[in-house]
Structure 1
Amino acid sequence: MPHFLGEFECKLDAKGRMMIPSNLRKQLPEAEREGLVINRGFEKHLVIYPHKEWDLIMDELGKLNQFEKKNREFVRYFTRGATEILPDAAGRILFPKSLLEYAGIGTDVVLTGNLNKIEVWAQSAYDEQLDNEPENFANLAEEVMGNQRSKTNE
């Protein structure tokens, strides 16, 4: 599983294309051959997955019981708008207009590496999110990760 690193400020051109930053492109060696999948994030942002990672997620979704309404709804909403994208010869990707509208993305974009995916944010939404950092991040870290070490040592 790839782990993406970095935060990149980018610009979209008038056609909705963006040049993949070179440091990020180095982390996506299969992208030109296998493609990427872009999708809606859980918040108002977009998420880019390498195709292999998307396939793993789809395999997990395929295991859900489709006779349960909440499972069908989750799959429907999670995959809504998912689109395969391929970088062009210049290393640009074209964002689907409907996804840009969903995320409120105009010209200024921030890409952030987030484990096995790359988040795509409107610059203003990203800045706002960072301005709302928890007052005590150490408490949040303890709550989320505090028991992880003991679980791995069992």
Structure 2
Amino acid sequence: MPHLTGEFECKLDAKGRMMIPAGLKKQLPEADGEGLMINRGLEKYLVIYTKSEWDKRLDELSKLNEYDRQNLRFIRYFTGGATALMPDSAGRVLLPKSLLDFAGIGNDVVLTCVLNKIEVWDKAAHTEMINNEPDNFAELAEAVMGSKARRIDE
């Protein structure tokens, strides 16, 4: 699957439905046929995967030893609340209320593409997260990616 790109502001209607933005929909051609999957993120946001990407995640989880309590807790947390999303004829998806409540998502939403998934944030929480960017992003980049990048003088 190609990596997804973009950031999109959306509004939820009174029923919790969200229109998939046109720019994102173009990147998700399989969504109409296979649907999407949504579940809790690692922090207070939700994550949307294509069905094929979700299946890859489940394949990874199925290799873990379920008799190890830590593994079982992770599997339970990661898969708990996972829900299939099928776009309706108008291109909307219904986001589960329990997941919206978990993430504290109101009517204003920001969709942020992160490699092969889409993070779903409450707009205010997203703004706060962005405003808490490290003072020196270059230091973070060096700490995370420094050992992976080839140095020019090598």
Letter matched to residue 76 of structure 1: R
How far apart, in 2, do the equivalents of 1:2 and 1:15 lie?
32
Query: TM-score, normalization: structure 1?
Result: 0.96
Query: Which residue number corresponds to residue 128 of structure 1?
Result: 128
* Residues 98-126 of structure 1: CA deviation (Å, up to 9, x unaligned): 00000111100000110010000000000
Query: Which residue number corresponds to residue 147 of structure 2?
Result: 147
- Cα deviation for residue 67 of structure 1 reads 1.3
Return 5+ residue gaps in structure 1 as ranges: none
* Residues 67-116 of structure 1: CA deviation (Å, up to 9, x unaligned): 11100000001111100111111000000000000011110000011001
Query: Which residue number corresponds to residue 109 of structure 2?
Result: 109
Query: Which residue number corresponds to residue 72 of structure 1?
Result: 72
Query: Which residue number corresponds to residue 87 of structure 1?
Result: 87
How far apart, in 2, do the equivalents of 1:67 and 1:103 lie?
29
In the alignment, does 2:118 pair up with 1:118?
yes
- Cα deviation for residue 33 of structure 1 reads 0.3
- Cα deviation for residue 10 of structure 1 reads 0.5
Query: Which residue number corresponds to residue 24 of structure 1?
Result: 24
How far apart, in 2, do the equivalents of 1:125 and 1:32 lie?
29
Identity of aligned residues (%): 65
Query: Which residue number corresponds to residue 97 of structure 1?
Result: 97
Count the aligned residue pairs: 150
- Cα deviation for residue 2 of structure 1 reads 2.6
